[in-house]
Amino acid sequence: MKRDRLLLILYLTAVVAATLVHEPSSLAAALVVLLLLAGHDATRLLRRSLRVILVFNLAVSLGYVLLAWLRGISPWETLLLINLRVLLLTLLTFLFISRVNLFRALDFSPTLSWLLALAYSQALGFQRAHAEFRLALASRCLERPRLIDRYRASAAAAAWFMDRALATARESALALRARGFFDA
Amino acid sequence: MLELTGITHRYDGCLALVDINLRVNSGEKVVLLGANGSGKSTLLKIIAGLITPNGGLYRYKDEAIDARRLKDRALSRRFRREVALLFQNPDAMLFNPTVYDEIAFGPRQLALADVDARVRHWAGVMGLTDKLQQLPFSLSGGEKQKLALAALLAVGPELLLLDEPVSALDPRTTGWLIDFLAELPITVITTTHNLSLAPELGSRALVLSEEHRLLHDGPIEPFLADADKLRAANLVHSHRHRHGALEHRHDHVHDWD
Amino acid sequence: MHLPDGFLSPQTYLPAYGLAAGLWWLAARRLRRTLDAERLPWLAAVTALAFVLMMLALPLPGGSSVHATGVALLAVNFGVWTAFLAISLVLALQALLFGVGGVTALAVNALALGLLGSAAAWLAWRAVQPVHEVLALILAGWVSMVVPAAIIALVLGIQPAIAHDAAGRPLFFPFGLAVTLPAVLIPHALLGLGEGLLTWLGTLTLKRLRLRHAV
């Protein structure tokens, strides 16, 4: 079996396993193993994972401390378990993303792999354009933009994205037809 | 007018600019050259105060500019008024309900008395007088670019930054834009990867290498004659040419974009 | 909103995956029948659109903003099944390529947001459309925000009851329904108004654009 597909299966198994284990010590050990596997990327991936989970986990953790205090129970073991698990799963995903070519892992279904690749490249283009729209508004406003201008800018961006999406759909259908994709 | 010292920037761990040092004086027309992905757009956005570089110092008129300093209202007002950036995709800049409102957007923020006169002047210059009540979205690509330019110039900037302004224009509009910029009495920095148009857009060239470093800073003509530097910047390529039975290979450019 | 990883028990997400897999298969089959040759580029383009709609800001007074979902806009204009597939693909892209959202939560998110959110929006739109077109679109947007929020609040809120240790301490999401329902539903009932606005104005724009592009 191909390397990428094997790693995808391994990753999915590890994800399920991480939700079946409930001892903080095992989860912490798994975290250490992952960081060793990540090698010189370890600090970068760990920092990225922490940044992604920070807000939601902090809100849940603080809420739980309050709840536990009201009920007169100790919150620490639960908090350790939950936060360790979330961190482990997030790090696992980032490690997977950095090591595996998803499109190659999914090539058992050419249609799915091709569809994902097409959608991904268009989504990346849109993501870049979205950042440009935000900067452009900032550059044209002498101070912080007014609410109405922010609405107009969002609306103009949405209209542009819809226009692009429809144009792209048409063009890539024509391109596929030109290559004989639909004749089979 | 502006000075960059040791500017380095990276996006998500990828280098975009490495140790850029340069000065631009008031009134200069500068061309910023480089292959796709060399960091031209990023450099313009740093000069426009939209991106704060990870390292180095950017000074505009002896004032350090970064995201924190631009929170100062007085500085931000002055800087944004004086420095204008034309984005490569003009659609990113247009969000007002009519062409008129689009040009008036900047002057209205300054609460100027002559908003209407400014709008009509710049609409006239750009040939948009008949379209003042139209939706910007409905204009053609070239018209959108002219509208975006009119909207920027109506504020009266002192430094105009243009990101690949000719890459989407037809030949007639390209010629018009080159003449227009030559007459414009303000500082202009223009990016392009089009070598044959570059000498028309300015007399000084800044060239970024594919390693995101400043490869050349000086008059444009010697750079265009330096085959090694052109190849290093990935601005020329070579392939086989066949003339009857003869075949040879040399560096050259294709500038159709 | 959509759920991150690590807060759902396997007792929740594994059955959700089973259900979603069947529905994805069904949706793909329906799409193949109705959209013939252009289905793949069309679906890819709608997916990219769904992706960027989720990045779009609905500005709030005071400089902050929340994200739109575009679920109702997609459901009303492209149909429930296309919306379901496009949103599922977006969630997969986000989880497996951009590293946001969650892999374990993907199926629950796809069912809540992509299927039930779009179905509720489409039904609300169809029911009210004969009475008032604009109201129908705004209602569709509101419903597409509130229904998934309610489902996600329910799924989160039952976690302490179905996944706890011998001492009764939660193993996954630690709050019950009494906390999740109001905490999730109240803000989303307000945000739904912004989504309604997007659905209304977006549908107007899309209709005009589809005439221009003849698609």
A184 pLDDT more than 50: no
Residue of B nearest to A129 (CA): B92
Neighbours of B, requiring at least 3 CB pairs below 8 Å, are A
Q: How many CA atoms lie within 13 A of C199 on its CB side?
A: 34
* B247 Rama sector, left if φ>0, alpha if ψ -120 to 50, beta otherwise: beta
Q: Which residue has the tokens 């018009």?
A: B176
User: Cα dihedral angle (C49, A90, A135, B15), rounded to 10 degrees?
Assistant: -120
Cβ of C48 and A172 within 8 Å?
no
Instruction: Report the gap between the CA of B28 and the closest CA in chain A (Å).
Output: 22
Residue B55, pLDDT above cutoff 50: yes
Quote the pLDDT of residue C63.
Answer: 61
At a CB cut-off of 8 Å and minimum separation 6, what does C130 contact?
Answer: none
- The predicted pLDDT at position A182 comes to 56
B150 domain-assigned: no
Q: Provide ipTM, 2 decimals.
A: 0.88
User: And the tokens for A168?
Assistant: 């792209």
Q: What confidence tier does B225 reach under pLDDT thresholds 50, 70, 90? A: confident
Average pLDDT over residues B193-198: 86
Mean pLDDT value across residues A160-181: 82
Tell me which residues of chain A, numbers 61 to 100, contact chain C at a CB-CB cutoff of 8 Å.
63-64, 67, 73, 77-78, 81-82, 85-86, 88-90, 93-94, 96-97
Q: How many CA atoms lie within 13 A of B143 on its CB side?
A: 17
Which residue in B has a C-alpha nearest to residue A146's C-alpha? B109
Partner residues linked to A150 by β-bridges: none
- DSSP readout, B119-173? HHHHHHHTT-GGGTTS-GGGS-HHHHHHHHHHHHHTT--SEEEEESTTTT--HHH
Residue A97 C-beta-side C-alpha neighbours within 13 Å = 20
For chain C, the domain total comes to 1
Nearest CA in chain A to B97: A152
Residues of A in contact with C175 (CB under 8 A): 60, 63-64, 67
Q: How many helices (H) and strands (E) does chain C have?
A: 9, 2
Asked if residue C5 belongs to a domain, the reply is no
Contact A136 B76 (CB under 8 A): no
What b/e sequence results for C151-165 when a residue is b if at least 16 CB atoms lie within 10 Å of its CB, and e otherwise? bbbebbbbbbeebbe
- Stretch (H or E) spanning B219: strand B214-219
Task: Give me the residue from A132, A143, A156 closest to B94, CB to CB.
Answer: A156
Contact C13/C104 with Cβ under 8 angstroms? yes
What are the domain boundaries of chain A? 3-104, 109-178
Of C49, C95, C172, the CB nearest to A162: C49
- pLDDT digit string, tens, across residues B143-173: 999 999 999 999 999 999 999 998 888 888 9
The residues on A that touch B, with CB distances below 8 Å, are 44, 129, 132-133, 135-143, 149, 152-153, 155-157, 159-160
> What values do phi and psi take at B51, rounded to 5?
-125, 135
In a domain, C19, yes or no: yes
Other Cβ atoms less than 10 A from the Cβ of A59: the count is 11
* Segment (H or E) for C71: helix C71-78
Question: Is C3 a member of any domain?
Answer: no
| In-domain check, residue B167 | yes
At residue B15, the 3 state secondary structure works out as strand
Chain C residues whose beta carbon lies within 8 Å of the beta carbon of residue A85 = 6, 172
CATH no. for residue B54?
3.40.50.300
Is residue C50 one of the residues assigned to a domain?
Answer: yes
CB C106 within 8 A of CB C83: no
Structural domain span for residue B15? 2-93+159-234
Centre a 10 Å sphere on the Cβ of residue A69 and count the other Cβ atoms it contains: 11
How far apart are alpha carbons B83 and B187 in whole angstroms? 10
Cβ–Cβ under 8 Å, residues C110 and C151: no
8 A C-beta contact, residue B7 and residue B20: yes
Confidence of residue A144 (pLDDT cuts 50, 70, 90): confident
Q: What SS3 state is found at B248?
A: strand
Count up the domains in chain B and report the number.
1
* Angle ∠(B4,B5,B11) on CA atoms, nearest 5: 80
Nearest to A150 among C59, C95, C175 (CB): C59
Letter string b/e over residues B12-30, b meaning 16 or more CB atoms within 10 A of that residue's CB: eeeebbbebebebeeebbb
Q: Which among A131, C83, C116 is positioned nearest to B51, based on CA atoms?
A: A131
**A9-18, A161-170, C56-65: which range is least confident on average?**
C56-65
Q: Answer whether C34 touches A (CB < 8 Å).
A: no
Residue B256 scores a pLDDT above 60: no
Task: Output the domain CATH number for residue C123.
Answer: 1.10.1760.20
- Name the A residues in 27-46 with CB < 8 Å from any C CB: none
Nearest CA of chain A to the CA of B236: how many Å? 27
pLDDT (mean) for A113-118: 86
- For β-strands B159-163 and B2-11, DSSP reports them as unpaired
Give residue B147's identity as a one-letter amino acid code: L
Residue A147 forms contact with C (CB below 8 Å): yes
Among A97, A161, A182, select the one facing C37 at the smallest CB separation: A182
- CA dist B74 and B84 (Å) reads 17
pLDDT of A90 reads 93
- As a dihedral over the C-alpha atoms of residue C42, residue C48, residue C51, residue C55, rounded to 10 degrees, the angle is -130
pLDDT at B254: 61
The SS3 assignment for B48 reads coil
Mean pLDDT of B21-44: 93
Closest CA to B90 of B218, B1, B25, B177: B177
What is the predicted pLDDT for the residue at A42?
92
Question: Does residue C4 form part of some domain?
Answer: no
Instruction: For B12, list phi and psi in degrees, rounded to 5.
Output: 45, 45
- Report CA dihedral (B127, B128, B131, B135) to the nearest 10 degrees: 140
CB contact under 8 A, C53 and A90: no
Q: Which of B68, B34, B52, B47 is nearest to B1 (CA)?
A: B47
Contacts of A56 in chain C (CB under 8 A): 4
Task: Out of B85, B89, B96, name the one closest to residue A139 (CB).
Answer: B85
B11 touches A: beta carbon within 8 Å: no
Among candidates B51, B77, B95 on the partner chain, residue whose Cβ is nearest the Cβ of A152? B95
* Residue B66 confidence (pLDDT) above 60: yes
Residue C37: per-residue pLDDT: 56
CA dihedral C63, C69, C73, C79 (to 10 degrees): 180
Range of the domain at C207: 10-213
**Looking at beta carbons, which residues of chain A come within 8 Å of C193?**
none
Q: What is the DSSP string of A16-74?
A: HHHHH---HHHHHHHHHHHHHHHGGGHHHHHHHHHHHHHHHHHHHHHHHHHHHHHHT--
- Which pLDDT tens digits describe chain C residue by residue (215 residues)? 567 888 999 999 999 999 999 999 998 888 777 655 567 788 888 899 999 988 887 777 666 667 888 999 999 999 999 999 999 999 999 888 887 878 999 999 999 999 999 999 999 999 999 999 999 999 999 999 999 999 999 999 999 999 888 888 889 988 889 988 998 899 899 989 989 999 999 999 898 888 877 76
